[in-house]
Amino acid sequence: MEGKGFNKIIELAKKQKVAIVIPGDPFLATTHMTAKLDAEDAGITTFYVPGISIFVVAFSLTGLQIYKAGPPATILEPSPIYNPKSSYSKLIDNLKKGLHTLLLLDIDVEKNRFLSFSRAAELVLAELNRVTQANNLIGIGIRRANSFDQKIYIESLARLKDLHDRRFPQVLVIPGKIDPIEAKALINLGANQKLVESHARTIERIGRKIHLKS
């Protein structure tokens, strides 16, 4: 919806009513807010209908408390010329504070390429294991949240990276410190007590010592 494509929408909206429909809540992304502001600069009145955002749904589905969430981050498929580390730094900072992290996963619609939670778990582990043993951290993979075929996978990151689901979109949630109510919610979704306890010990260790290497 950028560039020439959006310019065509602007011109059409000058003559008639136009609706742009997207999944989620559009103004949580810079692109859509830019589109709204450009339309208003062109003298077009806009009306916004909020959608259901993954930022809310992910926590509602898992039973994790959203007020214990840190900043979200996006995991990208690295390339030889582009391999940003800022998302991992956010994750590390959240884990050190005991906060939950929602990891959004790279989507390239034009190339029909979607990053899976299993690949994201693999990338996250590769970074974390450079500085501490993180295999026992809980990873929660969610596919097609808020749809009839949504599914939630709760495993250690070490196991989650080998669970492949080819239905998209997907997200990955990595909990921080888990209170008893959150633990019960995760167990009801399929986690076991041993996994919850191993995660808690790993979070405690991370809070004491982990620093991401450059």
| pLDDT tens-digit series, residues 51-99 | 889 999 999 999 999 999 999 999 999 888 888 889 999 999 999 999 9
pLDDT of residue 3: 57
For 33, 54, 115, 116, the CA distances from 125, given in Å and listed in that order, are: 34, 23, 15, 14
| Joined tokens for residue 21 | 């429909």
The rounded distance, in Å, linking the Cα atoms of 68 and 64 is 8
Write down the residue that tokens 């080819």 correspond to: 166
pLDDT of residue 9: 87
The rounded distance, in Å, linking the Cα atoms of 123 and 197 is 23
Count of all residues that appear for the chain in the document: 214
The rounded distance, in Å, linking the Cα atoms of 132 and 14 is 57
54-209 in CATH: which number?
Answer: 3.30.950.10
| Joined tokens for residue 210 | 């982990």
Q: Closest Cα partner for 129 from 153, 157, 160?
A: 157
State the pairing for strand pair 73-75/101-105.
parallel
The rounded distance, in Å, linking the Cα atoms of 108 and 127 is 23
The rounded distance, in Å, linking the Cα atoms of 143 and 162 is 15
The rounded distance, in Å, linking the Cα atoms of 196 and 180 is 10
For residue range 100-138, list pLDDT tens digits in order.
999 999 988 778 889 999 999 999 999 999 988 999 999
- 117 alpha-carbon distance from chain centroid: 9
Would you tell me the crossing angle of helices 4-13 and 30-41 to the nearest 10 degrees? 40
Q: What is the CA radius of gyration of the chain?
A: 19
| Joined tokens for residue 144 | 């097609």
Residue 214 confidence class, pLDDT cut points 50, 70, 90: very low
With b for 16 or more beta-carbon neighbours within 10 A and e for fewer, the 63-78 pattern comes to bbeeebbbebbbbbee
Side chain identity at 142, as an amino acid letter? I
* 22 vs 181, residue with greater confidence: 181
The rounded distance, in Å, linking the Cα atoms of 26 and 22 is 7
Domain extents in the chain:
4-41, 54-209
pTM attached to this predicted model = 0.88
How is 33-51 classified by DSSP, letter by letter? HHHHHHHHHTT--------
